[in-house]
Structure 1
Amino acid sequence: MVDDIELNRLFWHSRRGMLELDVLLVPFVREVYAHLDAEDQARYRKLLACEDQDMFGWFMQREEPEDPDLRRMVKMILDRVQPK
């Protein structure tokens, strides 16, 4: 169970100041994070520790993270917003 303090902290860390990242990360943390298992929650927190420019390249699908945990999280976030 995720407490409100953690969710609030993650919400603010998800606001990167780059619109392209904000529109992906903020809704994800609001709508999905609390329902993830502990491993995926840890992967999301690991993603937030990455540089904005790296995340931008990953989410714009210009490159992929080398780390399989980060690759899984990027795919999970992109799958939410891309048409099937």
Structure 2
Amino acid sequence: MQTDDEIELKKLRWRCRRGMRELDQLFGRYLDRCWRQAPTPERAVFLQLLETEDDKLWRWSMGYEACPDAQQARLLEYIRTLPP
């Protein structure tokens, strides 16, 4: 039987699938390496990012456009620096 944490992680993994390989890899990497130990405020920012349209996320993540939200921008920059 799965725990609530395992179920939540599976749901988040599905939400991290964006249909763009770059975004899939970035968000999946964060989920695998950081989500479990992330503080609640950071998790909230990550969930906000998952609500954002893919084209905006891609432009922000690739550095083509600045993210207007400072917390989201900091988290995206951190996610971008995670080693592959």
Q: Distance in 1 between matches of 2:5 and 2:40?
A: 13
Q: Show the counterpart of 2:61.
A: 59
Q: Show the counterpart of 1:40.
A: 42
Aligned residues: 81
Structure 1 stretches of 4+ with a deviation exceeding 2 A read: none
Q: Which runs of 5+ in 2 are unaligned?
A: none
Query: What TM-score results when the alignment is normalised by the length of structure 2?
Result: 0.88
Partner AA of 2:37 in structure 1: H
The Cα RMSD (Å) is 1.5
Tell me which structure has the larger Cα radius of gyration.
Answer: 2
Q: How much identity, in percent, do the aligned residues show? A: 31
Greater Cα offset, 40-49 or 3-12: 3-12
Q: Show the counterpart of 1:16.
A: 18
